């Protein structure tokens, strides 16, 4: 098992070193966007791997195993959101980001979309990205360390976190976007392979006890009763689960993949691969939860360890070497998300704050190394947040659960309008981002508990309405903005 782990990490580090020494393009654009030269398979697999964290192999199966199929509505919402994002947004964003100033970050694109001289919108977006993704990366470090210590119980959490963080930092620091995308592609293949393998192996070798479906377990005052009806969830739970899909339209570490593909005409192939991947992965996660209930419920649920269902099945029904490879998929899920968020946070600072405000005439080499140093700085801050066990640090970690909603509510409507509405204005974009974010936060604090509705839904709707009203209330975009829009649409 340990040999399998060492081999997996060696491959990740090799990829970082390979792109550091063999990438002849040493520009900012290459480091943060791969020079817009990514192929359709790499684009698709890296986008989906960076999207799905360890939640896919631990959180979702564990929740369904404990409570039943009603917990699957978030997965259904994510499938719908993924499909719509690839079909509706992907190709247009690739074309538009190139047409409007060859933008390499989302904040840069939103500013260039209006040929605005003001950098206010870009800087606001960059600051939000920088702060939010630093916290996101910290949560990734925590998750990675937890997985590490679960797989290797003799390892203390501090050492586990340091090892996990070091590997991600090295290949992201050295290889940039290309290394992150290629490692994410490998990790995406590993994740889907493991998700398919575990159900097959469990059915073939496991002792299925269907009476476990009717058993009720209790841990820490929580009752784990399996409900086999998908529609057993309340209306608010179903609506909230489906609303999760709205987050994709504003998720920077996923959207930036669309901007990086070499040939926009290949986006259809990427879309097909990505949608098939997410459907199969989520379906297999649900099957794993069901099989886990039939085989290892007595081992896990009395102790509240349902999140370990994937790992337990791998250890129980496979040889150690195979188990090591399968469980490396759990680490792959955490790594593929953390590395992408780390690079997006770095690019936001370098391209949207450092270059326009600090060093306007900075060379490509300078920006490249600033980006690398910011990767290191963000990682260090994230590490200290993650390794701090104080109540303040834990409060920060809890905020991560709501970051998906803030990103989706603030940036989702603005991204969609920028791609499909020629009359959209700079003031409309600012109004949409601010209103969406504020509504999301206010709903979270005052109304989410009483209504049971996930805050992204009212935030998204409010941001969309505010963006439209503010655009109609402001002067029409310039002729150059309109002309560029029409030319971009012709090539979609």
pLDDT tens for 221-231 read 999 999 999 98
* Residue 59 pLDDT exceeds 90: no
Angle value at C-alpha 90, between 89 and 92, nearest 5 degrees = 70
How do residues 109-157 score in pLDDT, each as one tens digit? 999 999 988 888 888 888 887 877 787 788 778 877 877 787 778 888 8
pLDDT score recorded for residue 7: 83
pLDDT of residue 394: 56
- Token couple for 458: 């009212």
Query: Residue 141's closest CA among 159, 164, 158, 157?
Result: 164
Q: Is the Cβ–Cβ distance between 332 and 104 less than 8 Å? A: no
User: Residue range 437-441: average pLDDT?
Assistant: 92
Own/partner pairs, 314-318, CB within 8 angstroms, 24+ separation: 314/194, 314/198, 316/206, 317/201, 317/202, 317/205, 317/206, 318/201
Residue 390's pLDDT is what?
63
- pLDDT of 235 > 80? The answer is yes
26 falls in which pLDDT band (50, 70, 90)?
low
Instruction: Kindly tell me if the per-residue pLDDT of 297 is higher than 60.
Output: yes
Global pTM value: 0.88
Question: Which pLDDT score is estimated for 249?
Answer: 95
How does pLDDT run across 299-308, given as a tens digit for each residue?
A: 999 999 898 8
Helix (H, G, I), strand (E, B) or coil at 218: strand
Task: Please give the structure tokens belonging to residue 44.
Answer: 């698709």
Highest mean predicted confidence (pLDDT) among 6-10, 276-280, 343-347: 276-280
Write the pLDDT tens digit of every residue in 366-412. Answer: 888 888 888 898 889 888 888 876 665 555 556 666 778 888 999 99
Q: What b/e readout covers 393-429, taking b as 16+ CB neighbours within 10 angstroms?
A: beebbeebebbbbbbbbbbbbbbbbbbeeeebbbbbb
2-391: which CATH number, 2.30.29.30, 3.30.70.20, 2.60.120.560, 1.20.1730.10? 1.20.1730.10
What is the per-residue pLDDT for 250? 92
Question: Which of 420, 414, 427 lies closest to 470 in space, CA to CA?
Answer: 427
Q: Which residues pair with 223 in a beta bridge?
A: 218
Percent of the chain exceeding pLDDT 90 equals: 41
> Residue 13 above 70 pLDDT?
yes
Q: Between 447 and 34, whose confidence is greater?
A: 447
β-strand 216-219 against 222-225: which pairing, if any?
antiparallel
Check residue 366 and give its pLDDT.
Answer: 85
What is residue 408's predicted lDDT score, i.e. its pLDDT? 92
Specify which of 187-196, 287-296, 350-359 reaches the highest per-range mean pLDDT: 287-296
Q: Give one DSSP letter per residue of 238-297, joined into a string.
A: HHHHHHGGGGGGG-HHHHHHHHHBS-GGGHHHHHHHHHHHHHHHHHHHHHHHHHHHHHSH
Mean pLDDT of the chain: 87
Q: Which of 146-150, 168-172, 222-226, 337-341 has the lowest mean pLDDT?
A: 146-150
| Of the listed ranges 23-32, 217-226, 343-352, 438-447, the one predicted with least confidence | 23-32
Position 27 scores a pLDDT of 64
The mean pLDDT of 238-263, rounded to a whole number, is: 90
Q: How confident is the model at residue 348 (pLDDT cuts 50, 70, 90)?
A: confident
Quote the pLDDT of residue 260. Answer: 86
Would you give the end-to-end CA distance of the chain in angstroms? 48
């Amino acid at each position: 098992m340990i040999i399998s782990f060492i081999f997996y990490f060696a491959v990740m580090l090799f990829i970082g070193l390979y792109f550091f020494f063999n990438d002849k393009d040493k520009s900012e654009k290459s480091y943060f966007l791969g020079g817009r030269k990514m192929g359709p398979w790499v684009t698709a697999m890296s986008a989906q791997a960076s999207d799905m964290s360890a939640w896919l192999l631990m959180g979702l199966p564990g929740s369904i195993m404990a409570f039943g199929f009603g917990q699957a509505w978030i997965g259904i919402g994510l499938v719908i959101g993924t499909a719509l994002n690839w079909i509706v947004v992907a190709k247009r964003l690739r074309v538009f980001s190139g047409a409007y100033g060859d933008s390499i970050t989302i904040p840069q694109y939103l500013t260039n979309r209006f040929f605005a001289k003001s950098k206010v919108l870009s800087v606001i977006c960059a600051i939000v990205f920088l702060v939010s993704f630093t916290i996101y990366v910290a949560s990734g470090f925590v998750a990675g360390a937890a997985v590490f210590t679960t797989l290797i119980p003799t390892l203390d959490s501090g050492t586990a976190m340091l090892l996990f963080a070091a590997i991600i930092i090295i290949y992201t620091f050295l290889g940039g976007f290309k290394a992150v995308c290629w490692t994410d592609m490998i990790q995406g293949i590993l994740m889907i392979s493991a998700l398919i393998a575990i159900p097959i192996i469990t059915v073939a070798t496991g002792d299925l006890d269907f009476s476990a479906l009717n058993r009720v377990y209790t841990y820490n005052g929580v009752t784990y009763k399996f409900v086999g009806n998908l529609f057993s969830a309340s209306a608010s739970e179903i609506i909230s689960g489906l609303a999760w899909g709205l987050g994709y339209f504003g998720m920077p570490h996923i959207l930036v993949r669309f901007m990086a593909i070499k040939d926009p005409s290949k986006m259809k192939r990427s879309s097909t691969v990505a949608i098939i991947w997410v459907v199969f992965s989520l379906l297999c996660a649900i099957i794993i939860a069901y099989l886990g209930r039939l085989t290892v419920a007595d081992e896990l649920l009395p102790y509240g360890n349902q999140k370990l269902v994937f790992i337990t099945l791998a250890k129980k029904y496979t040889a150690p070497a195979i188990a090591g490879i399968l469980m490396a998929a759990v680490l792959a899920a955490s790594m593929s998300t953390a590395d992408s968020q780390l690079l997006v946070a770095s690019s936001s600072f370098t391209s949207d704050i450092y270059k326009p405000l600090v060093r306007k005439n900075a060379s490509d080499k300078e920006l490249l190394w600033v980006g690398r140093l910011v990767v290191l700085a963000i990682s260090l801050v994230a590490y200290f947040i993650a390794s701090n066990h104080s109540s303040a640090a834990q409060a920060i970690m809890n905020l991560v659960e709501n970051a998906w909603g803030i990103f989706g509510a603030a940036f989702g409507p603005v991204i969609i309008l920028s791609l499909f509405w020629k009359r959209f204005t700079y003031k409309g974009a600012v109004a949409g981002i601010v209103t969406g974010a504020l509504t999301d936060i206010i709903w979270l604090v005052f109304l989410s508990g009483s209504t049971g509705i996930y805050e992204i839904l009212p935030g998204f709707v409010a941001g969309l309405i505010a963006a439209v009203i503010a655009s109609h209330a402001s002067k029409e975009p310039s002729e150059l903005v309109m002309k560029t829009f029409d030319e971009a649409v012709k090539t979609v």
